[in-house]
Amino acid sequence: MLAAIAADHRLRTLVPAGSYSKDHNVIDLTSNDYLDLRHDPVHQAALHEVARDFPFGSGGSRLLGGEHPVFRDFERMVADFADAEDALFFPSGFAANESVATTLGRLPDAAFFSDELNHASIIDGIRASGLEKSRRRIFAHNDLTMLESQLAQTKGLKFIFSESLFSMDGDTPDLNGLQTLADRYGATLVIDEAHAFFCNGPEGRGLCPGTGIRHREAIRILTCGKGMSLQGALVCSPSWFRDLLINVARPFIYTTGPSPVLAAAGVATMQRSAALQEKRDHLAFVSRRLRVTLNGLGFSTARAGHHILPVICGENSKALALSAFLAERGISSRAIRPPTVPAGTARVRLSLHAGIAEPDLARIESVFRDFAP
Ligand SMILES: Cc1ncc(COP(=O)(O)O)c(C=O)c1O
Protein backbone atom coordinates (compact mmCIF):
# COMPACT_ATOMS: atom_id res chain seq x y z
CA MET A 1 0.00 0.00 0.00
CA LEU A 2 2.80 2.43 0.89
CA ALA A 3 4.50 1.63 -2.43
CA ALA A 4 1.31 2.52 -4.31
CA ILE A 5 1.01 5.81 -2.41
CA ALA A 6 4.65 6.61 -3.18
CA ALA A 7 4.23 5.77 -6.87
CA ASP A 8 1.42 8.33 -6.99
CA HIS A 9 3.67 11.00 -5.37
CA ARG A 10 1.43 10.98 -2.29
CA LEU A 11 3.79 9.56 0.34
CA ARG A 12 3.60 11.69 3.49
CA THR A 13 6.46 12.09 5.92
CA LEU A 14 6.88 14.23 9.02
CA VAL A 15 9.16 17.19 8.32
CA PRO A 16 10.06 19.77 10.98
CA ALA A 17 8.38 23.09 10.22
CA GLY A 18 10.45 25.82 8.60
CA SER A 19 10.13 28.06 11.64
CA TYR A 20 11.83 25.40 13.78
CA SER A 21 14.74 25.27 11.33
CA LYS A 22 18.15 26.25 12.65
CA ASP A 23 18.55 28.31 9.50
CA HIS A 24 16.92 31.59 10.46
CA ASN A 25 16.84 32.60 6.82
CA VAL A 26 13.99 30.20 6.13
CA ILE A 27 10.60 31.82 5.51
CA ASP A 28 7.98 29.44 6.86
CA LEU A 29 4.75 29.35 4.88
CA THR A 30 3.45 26.10 6.30
CA SER A 31 1.85 26.92 9.61
CA ASN A 32 -1.59 28.05 10.71
CA ASP A 33 -0.01 30.38 13.26
CA TYR A 34 -1.42 33.24 11.21
CA LEU A 35 -0.63 36.01 13.71
CA ASP A 36 2.87 34.58 14.26
CA LEU A 37 2.26 34.40 17.99
CA ARG A 38 4.79 31.59 18.40
CA HIS A 39 7.44 34.25 17.91
CA ASP A 40 5.71 36.94 19.93
CA PRO A 41 7.48 37.57 23.26
CA VAL A 42 4.35 38.97 24.97
CA HIS A 43 2.33 35.88 23.99
CA GLN A 44 5.09 33.54 25.12
CA ALA A 45 5.49 35.40 28.43
CA ALA A 46 1.73 35.14 29.06
CA LEU A 47 1.93 31.38 28.46
CA HIS A 48 4.80 31.02 30.92
CA GLU A 49 2.80 32.91 33.50
CA VAL A 50 -0.32 30.76 33.19
CA ALA A 51 1.82 27.61 33.17
CA ARG A 52 3.04 28.63 36.61
CA ASP A 53 -0.45 29.32 37.96
CA PHE A 54 -2.55 26.48 36.53
CA PRO A 55 -2.19 22.69 36.54
CA PHE A 56 -1.24 21.25 33.19
CA GLY A 57 -3.34 18.10 33.42
CA SER A 58 -7.09 18.42 33.89
CA GLY A 59 -7.15 15.06 35.64
CA GLY A 60 -10.02 13.46 33.79
CA SER A 61 -13.03 13.86 31.56
CA ARG A 62 -14.77 17.16 32.19
CA LEU A 63 -17.74 15.15 33.45
CA LEU A 64 -15.60 13.06 35.80
CA GLY A 65 -13.30 15.17 37.91
CA GLY A 66 -11.63 17.08 35.10
CA GLU A 67 -13.73 20.25 35.21
CA HIS A 68 -11.61 23.30 36.08
CA PRO A 69 -13.34 26.67 36.63
CA VAL A 70 -11.10 28.33 34.04
CA PHE A 71 -12.91 26.40 31.27
CA ARG A 72 -16.11 28.24 32.06
CA ASP A 73 -14.31 31.59 32.22
CA PHE A 74 -12.84 31.00 28.79
CA GLU A 75 -16.17 29.78 27.37
CA ARG A 76 -18.09 32.79 28.66
CA MET A 77 -15.46 35.15 27.33
CA VAL A 78 -15.47 33.62 23.86
CA ALA A 79 -19.28 33.42 23.73
CA ASP A 80 -19.38 37.11 24.55
CA PHE A 81 -16.71 37.93 21.98
CA ALA A 82 -18.53 35.95 19.30
CA ASP A 83 -21.97 37.26 20.29
CA ALA A 84 -23.18 33.71 20.95
CA GLU A 85 -25.51 32.56 23.69
CA ASP A 86 -22.90 30.16 25.04
CA ALA A 87 -19.80 28.13 24.22
CA LEU A 88 -18.23 24.78 25.07
CA PHE A 89 -14.45 24.16 25.10
CA PHE A 90 -13.07 21.01 23.43
CA PRO A 91 -9.55 19.57 23.31
CA SER A 92 -9.43 20.00 19.51
CA GLY A 93 -11.35 21.29 16.52
CA PHE A 94 -11.55 17.75 15.20
CA ALA A 95 -13.35 16.60 18.34
CA ALA A 96 -15.58 19.69 18.23
CA ASN A 97 -16.72 19.09 14.65
CA GLU A 98 -17.23 15.40 15.21
CA SER A 99 -19.25 16.16 18.34
CA VAL A 100 -21.44 18.75 16.61
CA ALA A 101 -22.37 16.49 13.69
CA THR A 102 -22.92 13.32 15.70
CA THR A 103 -25.03 15.21 18.25
CA LEU A 104 -27.18 16.97 15.65
CA GLY A 105 -27.60 13.61 13.90
CA ARG A 106 -29.42 12.28 16.97
CA LEU A 107 -32.19 14.85 16.69
CA PRO A 108 -35.41 13.39 15.25
CA ASP A 109 -35.71 13.92 11.51
CA ALA A 110 -32.30 15.59 11.13
CA ALA A 111 -30.98 16.21 7.62
CA PHE A 112 -27.51 17.50 6.74
CA PHE A 113 -26.28 19.57 3.80
CA SER A 114 -22.52 19.87 3.54
CA ASP A 115 -20.15 21.71 1.20
CA GLU A 116 -18.02 19.17 -0.69
CA LEU A 117 -14.79 20.89 0.41
CA ASN A 118 -15.55 20.89 4.11
CA HIS A 119 -12.75 19.77 6.43
CA ALA A 120 -12.18 16.06 7.14
CA SER A 121 -13.46 16.49 10.71
CA ILE A 122 -16.84 17.72 9.42
CA ILE A 123 -16.99 14.91 6.85
CA ASP A 124 -16.09 12.28 9.43
CA GLY A 125 -18.60 13.69 11.91
CA ILE A 126 -21.35 13.59 9.30
CA ARG A 127 -20.44 10.02 8.36
CA ALA A 128 -20.35 9.00 12.02
CA SER A 129 -23.74 10.58 12.64
CA GLY A 130 -25.34 7.43 11.29
CA LEU A 131 -27.87 9.37 9.20
CA GLU A 132 -28.88 7.46 6.12
CA LYS A 133 -27.36 8.70 2.88
CA SER A 134 -30.52 10.39 1.64
CA ARG A 135 -30.40 12.58 4.78
CA ARG A 136 -26.77 13.66 4.27
CA ARG A 137 -26.47 15.62 1.09
CA ILE A 138 -23.23 17.03 -0.30
CA PHE A 139 -23.46 20.15 -2.43
CA ALA A 140 -20.82 21.32 -4.91
CA HIS A 141 -18.39 23.82 -3.42
CA ASN A 142 -20.17 27.11 -2.67
CA ASP A 143 -22.98 26.13 -5.06
CA LEU A 144 -26.04 27.73 -3.48
CA THR A 145 -28.28 26.77 -6.41
CA MET A 146 -27.56 23.11 -5.80
CA LEU A 147 -27.94 23.60 -2.05
CA GLU A 148 -31.32 25.24 -2.56
CA SER A 149 -32.64 22.40 -4.67
CA GLN A 150 -31.48 19.87 -2.05
CA LEU A 151 -33.14 21.90 0.72
CA ALA A 152 -36.37 22.12 -1.27
CA GLN A 153 -36.44 18.33 -1.78
CA THR A 154 -35.86 17.46 1.89
CA LYS A 155 -38.22 17.59 4.83
CA GLY A 156 -37.21 17.66 8.49
CA LEU A 157 -34.78 19.45 10.77
CA LYS A 158 -32.15 20.85 8.41
CA PHE A 159 -28.52 21.78 9.10
CA ILE A 160 -26.18 23.42 6.58
CA PHE A 161 -22.44 22.85 7.17
CA SER A 162 -19.80 25.14 5.72
CA GLU A 163 -16.47 26.67 6.57
CA SER A 164 -16.16 30.46 6.57
CA LEU A 165 -12.63 30.32 5.12
CA PHE A 166 -11.86 27.07 3.33
CA SER A 167 -8.64 25.50 4.51
CA MET A 168 -7.27 24.30 1.17
CA ASP A 169 -8.78 26.89 -1.19
CA GLY A 170 -8.67 30.03 0.94
CA ASP A 171 -12.06 31.15 -0.35
CA THR A 172 -15.21 32.21 1.47
CA PRO A 173 -18.80 31.13 0.84
CA ASP A 174 -21.59 33.63 0.29
CA LEU A 175 -22.46 33.84 3.98
CA ASN A 176 -25.43 36.14 3.42
CA GLY A 177 -26.71 33.75 0.76
CA LEU A 178 -26.39 30.82 3.17
CA GLN A 179 -28.42 32.69 5.81
CA THR A 180 -31.08 33.57 3.21
CA LEU A 181 -31.44 29.90 2.25
CA ALA A 182 -31.43 28.85 5.88
CA ASP A 183 -34.30 31.26 6.54
CA ARG A 184 -36.23 30.21 3.45
CA TYR A 185 -36.05 26.49 4.27
CA GLY A 186 -36.03 26.62 8.07
CA ALA A 187 -32.44 25.39 8.35
CA THR A 188 -29.74 26.09 10.95
CA LEU A 189 -26.23 27.13 9.88
CA VAL A 190 -23.19 25.28 11.20
CA ILE A 191 -20.15 27.37 10.30
CA ASP A 192 -16.57 26.33 10.96
CA GLU A 193 -14.55 29.52 11.50
CA ALA A 194 -11.30 27.64 12.20
CA HIS A 195 -9.14 29.65 9.81
CA ALA A 196 -10.83 33.02 10.26
CA PHE A 197 -11.27 33.16 14.04
CA PHE A 198 -8.91 35.67 15.66
CA CYS A 199 -7.58 36.72 12.22
CA ASN A 200 -10.46 38.15 10.18
CA GLY A 201 -13.31 40.49 10.92
CA PRO A 202 -13.59 43.18 13.58
CA GLU A 203 -11.02 42.41 16.30
CA GLY A 204 -10.63 38.95 14.83
CA ARG A 205 -14.20 37.91 15.59
CA GLY A 206 -14.29 35.89 12.36
CA LEU A 207 -15.91 36.26 8.96
CA CYS A 208 -19.50 35.79 10.17
CA PRO A 209 -19.81 39.13 12.03
CA GLY A 210 -20.74 41.89 9.64
CA THR A 211 -22.75 39.48 7.48
CA GLY A 212 -26.40 38.57 7.80
CA ILE A 213 -25.56 35.43 9.81
CA ARG A 214 -27.60 35.35 12.97
CA HIS A 215 -24.97 34.52 15.54
CA ARG A 216 -27.24 33.59 18.37
CA GLU A 217 -29.08 30.96 16.33
CA ALA A 218 -26.15 29.52 14.40
CA ILE A 219 -23.62 26.96 15.58
CA ARG A 220 -20.05 28.14 15.04
CA ILE A 221 -16.80 26.28 15.58
CA LEU A 222 -13.84 28.46 16.61
CA THR A 223 -10.51 26.71 16.92
CA CYS A 224 -7.62 27.90 19.10
CA GLY A 225 -4.76 26.15 17.28
CA LYS A 226 -4.54 28.62 14.43
CA GLY A 227 -5.02 32.38 14.93
CA MET A 228 -4.61 32.04 18.70
CA SER A 229 -1.57 29.79 18.40
CA LEU A 230 -2.82 27.57 21.22
CA GLN A 231 -4.84 24.35 21.08
CA GLY A 232 -8.46 23.34 21.47
CA ALA A 233 -11.73 24.66 20.07
CA LEU A 234 -14.99 26.23 21.14
CA VAL A 235 -18.43 25.42 19.87
CA CYS A 236 -20.49 28.62 20.08
CA SER A 237 -24.19 27.91 20.06
CA PRO A 238 -27.55 28.42 21.76
CA SER A 239 -27.46 27.15 25.36
CA TRP A 240 -29.69 24.15 24.69
CA PHE A 241 -27.18 22.79 22.20
CA ARG A 242 -24.28 23.21 24.64
CA ASP A 243 -26.29 21.21 27.18
CA LEU A 244 -26.97 18.52 24.62
CA LEU A 245 -23.27 18.27 23.65
CA ILE A 246 -22.33 17.78 27.30
CA ASN A 247 -24.86 14.98 27.56
CA VAL A 248 -24.40 13.05 24.34
CA ALA A 249 -21.25 14.03 22.42
CA ARG A 250 -18.93 11.03 22.77
CA PRO A 251 -15.71 12.89 21.77
CA PHE A 252 -16.51 15.34 24.61
CA ILE A 253 -17.58 12.81 27.23
CA TYR A 254 -15.02 10.06 26.71
CA THR A 255 -11.81 12.04 26.64
CA THR A 256 -9.58 13.78 29.16
CA GLY A 257 -10.52 17.43 29.53
CA PRO A 258 -8.21 19.94 27.87
CA SER A 259 -5.34 21.36 29.86
CA PRO A 260 -6.46 24.17 32.21
CA VAL A 261 -3.25 25.91 31.12
CA LEU A 262 -4.65 26.11 27.60
CA ALA A 263 -7.93 27.62 28.76
CA ALA A 264 -6.06 30.12 30.93
CA ALA A 265 -3.81 30.93 27.99
CA GLY A 266 -6.97 31.42 25.92
CA VAL A 267 -8.28 33.93 28.46
CA ALA A 268 -4.95 35.80 28.42
CA THR A 269 -4.86 35.82 24.61
CA MET A 270 -8.44 37.06 24.38
CA GLN A 271 -7.60 39.89 26.77
CA ARG A 272 -4.89 40.96 24.33
CA SER A 273 -7.09 40.75 21.27
CA ALA A 274 -7.42 44.49 20.59
CA ALA A 275 -3.65 44.94 20.80
CA LEU A 276 -3.18 42.38 18.03
CA GLN A 277 -5.06 44.41 15.43
CA GLU A 278 -1.83 45.67 13.87
CA LYS A 279 -0.81 42.07 13.17
CA ARG A 280 -4.19 41.36 11.60
CA ASP A 281 -3.91 44.43 9.39
CA HIS A 282 -0.41 43.42 8.31
CA LEU A 283 -1.63 39.90 7.55
CA ALA A 284 -4.36 41.33 5.33
CA PHE A 285 -1.80 43.55 3.55
CA VAL A 286 0.64 40.66 2.93
CA SER A 287 -2.19 38.43 1.69
CA ARG A 288 -3.50 40.99 -0.77
CA ARG A 289 -0.10 41.96 -2.14
CA LEU A 290 1.16 38.41 -2.69
CA ARG A 291 -2.08 37.35 -4.34
CA VAL A 292 -1.92 40.27 -6.77
CA THR A 293 1.76 39.60 -7.55
CA LEU A 294 1.27 35.88 -8.15
CA ASN A 295 -1.77 36.42 -10.33
CA GLY A 296 0.20 39.03 -12.30
CA LEU A 297 2.92 36.42 -12.88
CA GLY A 298 0.35 33.98 -14.26
CA PHE A 299 -0.09 31.71 -11.22
CA SER A 300 -3.63 30.66 -10.39
CA THR A 301 -4.68 31.16 -6.80
CA ALA A 302 -8.25 30.12 -7.59
CA ARG A 303 -10.78 32.12 -5.57
CA ALA A 304 -8.54 32.74 -2.56
CA GLY A 305 -9.22 36.02 -0.81
CA HIS A 306 -7.39 35.96 2.52
CA HIS A 307 -4.28 34.52 4.16
CA ILE A 308 -4.54 30.99 2.73
CA LEU A 309 -3.09 31.17 -0.77
CA PRO A 310 -3.19 27.98 -2.87
CA VAL A 311 -0.98 28.01 -5.96
CA ILE A 312 -2.81 25.56 -8.17
CA CYS A 313 -0.46 23.18 -10.04
CA GLY A 314 -2.75 20.36 -11.23
CA GLU A 315 -0.55 17.26 -11.22
CA ASN A 316 0.98 15.99 -7.97
CA SER A 317 4.50 16.03 -9.44
CA LYS A 318 4.16 19.70 -10.43
CA ALA A 319 3.13 20.72 -6.93
CA LEU A 320 6.09 18.78 -5.52
CA ALA A 321 8.44 20.45 -8.02
CA LEU A 322 7.27 23.96 -7.08
CA SER A 323 7.50 23.21 -3.38
CA ALA A 324 11.06 21.84 -3.87
CA PHE A 325 12.04 24.94 -5.90
CA LEU A 326 10.81 27.17 -3.09
CA ALA A 327 12.58 25.04 -0.45
CA GLU A 328 15.92 25.28 -2.27
CA ARG A 329 15.54 29.04 -2.03
CA GLY A 330 14.67 29.10 1.66
CA ILE A 331 10.88 29.21 1.44
CA SER A 332 9.16 26.42 3.27
CA SER A 333 5.76 25.44 1.83
CA ARG A 334 3.70 22.27 1.52
CA ALA A 335 2.52 20.48 -1.59
CA ILE A 336 -1.08 19.45 -0.96
CA ARG A 337 -2.22 16.41 -2.92
CA PRO A 338 -5.19 14.05 -3.10
CA PRO A 339 -6.93 12.80 -1.06
CA THR A 340 -6.69 16.11 0.83
CA VAL A 341 -7.76 17.92 -2.36
CA PRO A 342 -9.57 16.54 -5.44
CA ALA A 343 -7.46 14.69 -8.03
CA GLY A 344 -5.94 17.01 -10.64
CA THR A 345 -5.94 20.02 -8.30
CA ALA A 346 -2.66 19.45 -6.45
CA ARG A 347 -1.32 22.72 -5.15
CA VAL A 348 1.29 24.44 -3.09
CA ARG A 349 -0.46 25.94 -0.13
CA LEU A 350 1.04 29.17 1.13
CA SER A 351 -0.03 29.84 4.68
CA LEU A 352 0.69 33.51 5.17
CA HIS A 353 1.31 35.06 8.54
CA ALA A 354 1.88 38.37 10.24
CA GLY A 355 5.60 37.67 10.71
CA ILE A 356 6.29 38.16 6.98
CA ALA A 357 8.16 41.46 6.89
CA GLU A 358 8.53 43.61 3.76
CA PRO A 359 11.95 42.11 2.77
CA ASP A 360 10.52 38.57 3.15
CA LEU A 361 7.64 39.51 0.93
CA ALA A 362 10.00 40.86 -1.73
CA ARG A 363 12.06 37.66 -1.49
CA ILE A 364 9.01 35.43 -1.94
CA GLU A 365 7.90 37.47 -4.94
CA SER A 366 11.36 37.29 -6.51
CA VAL A 367 11.52 33.47 -6.14
CA PHE A 368 8.09 33.09 -7.78
CA ARG A 369 9.24 35.44 -10.56
CA ASP A 370 12.13 33.01 -11.23
CA PHE A 371 9.73 30.07 -11.43
CA ALA A 372 6.98 31.87 -13.33
CA PRO A 373 5.10 29.73 -15.89
C1 LIG B 1 -11.57 23.90 8.89
C2 LIG B 1 -10.98 23.12 10.01
N3 LIG B 1 -11.78 22.71 11.00
C4 LIG B 1 -11.30 21.99 12.02
C5 LIG B 1 -9.98 21.65 12.09
C6 LIG B 1 -9.49 20.83 13.24
O7 LIG B 1 -9.01 21.66 14.23
P8 LIG B 1 -7.92 21.14 15.26
O9 LIG B 1 -6.59 21.27 14.57
O10 LIG B 1 -8.05 22.01 16.44
O11 LIG B 1 -8.24 19.70 15.55
C12 LIG B 1 -9.10 22.06 11.11
C13 LIG B 1 -7.68 21.70 11.26
O14 LIG B 1 -6.82 21.81 10.50
C15 LIG B 1 -9.61 22.81 10.03
O16 LIG B 1 -8.82 23.22 9.03
Each residue's pLDDT, cut to its tens digit, for the chain (373 residues) gives 989 988 887 888 887 776 666 567 899 999 999 999 999 999 999 999 999 999 999 999 999 999 999 999 999 999 999 999 999 999 999 999 999 999 999 999 999 999 999 999 999 999 999 999 999 999 999 999 999 999 999 999 999 999 999 999 999 999 999 999 999 999 999 999 999 999 999 899 999 998 999 999 999 999 999 999 999 999 999 999 999 999 999 999 999 999 999 999 999 999 999 999 999 999 999 999 999 999 999 999 999 999 999 999 999 999 999 999 999 999 999 999 988 888 999 999 999 999 999 999 999 999 999 997 6
CA-based torsion, 67, 70, 72, 74: positive or negative: negative
Ligand 1 close to Cβ of residue 97 (< 6 A): yes
Active site residue 32: yes
Task: Determine the residue of 114, 167, 349 to mutate for testing ligand 1's pocket, defined as the one with the most ligand atoms within 8 A of the Cβ atom.
Answer: 167
Ligand 1 close to Cβ of residue 351 (< 6 A): no
Return the closest-CA partner of residue 251 out of 118, 116, 128. Answer: 128
Specify which residues 336 forms β-bridges with: 347
The set of residues, in sequence order, having a beta carbon less than 8 Å from that of 182 and lying 6+ positions away, is: 158, 160, 188, 189
Q: Give the DSSP H/E element, type plus range, for residue 87.
A: strand 86-90
Specify which residues 312 forms β-bridges with: 347
Give me the amino acid identity at 43: H
Active site residue 215: no
- Specify the residue with its C-alpha closest to ligand 1, atom 8: 93
Which contacts (CB < 8 Å, 24+ apart) does range 2-10 have? 8/316, 9/316, 9/317, 9/320, 9/337, 10/316, 10/337, 10/338
Give me the amino acid identity at 70: V
Q: Which of 43, 68, 119, 306 is catalytic?
A: 119
Ligand 1 close to Cβ of residue 164 (< 6 A): no
Ligand 1 close to Cβ of residue 102 (< 6 A): no
What secondary structure letter does DSSP report for 134? G
Ligand 1 close to Cβ of residue 124 (< 6 A): no
The set of residues, in sequence order, having a beta carbon less than 8 Å from that of 111 and lying 6+ positions away, is: 131, 135, 136, 137, 154, 155, 156, 157, 158, 159
Ligand 1 close to Cβ of residue 194 (< 6 A): yes
Which atom of ligand 1 lies closest to the CA of 97? 4
CA atoms within 13 A on the CB side of 176: 3
Active site residue 226: yes
**Three-state DSSP class for 312?**
strand
Ligand 1 close to Cβ of residue 282 (< 6 A): no
Ligand 1 close to Cβ of residue 340 (< 6 A): no
Distance 232 CA to ligand 1 centre (A): 9
Task: Determine the residue of 32, 90, 94 to mutate for testing ligand 1's pocket, defined as the one with the most ligand atoms within 8 A of the Cβ atom.
Answer: 94
Tell me the pTM.
Answer: 0.95
Q: Is 320 exposed, middle or buried (0-12, 13-18, 19+ CB in 10 A)?
A: middle
pLDDT at 15: 79
Residue environment code for 52-62, b if the CB has 16+ CB neighbours within 10 A, otherwise e: eebeeebeeeb
Active site residue 169: no
User: Which stretches of the chain are assigned E, i.e. beta strand?
Assistant: 27-28, 86-90, 110-115, 136-139, 157-163, 187-192, 219-223, 233-237, 308-314, 331-332, 334-336, 346-351
Rg of the chain over Cα atoms, rounded to whole angstroms, equals 21
Active site residue 192: yes
User: What span, in angstroms and rounded, lies between the C-alpha atoms of 100 and 188?
Assistant: 12
What secondary structure letter does DSSP report for 25? T
Which atom of ligand 1 lies closest to the CA of 232? 10
User: What span, in angstroms and rounded, lies between the C-alpha atoms of 263 and 72?
Assistant: 9
Cα–chain center distance at 356: 20
Ligand 1 close to Cβ of residue 220 (< 6 A): no
**Three-state DSSP class for 338?**
coil
Distance 223 CA to ligand 1 centre (A): 7
CA atoms within 13 A on the CB side of 305: 11
pLDDT at 44: 95
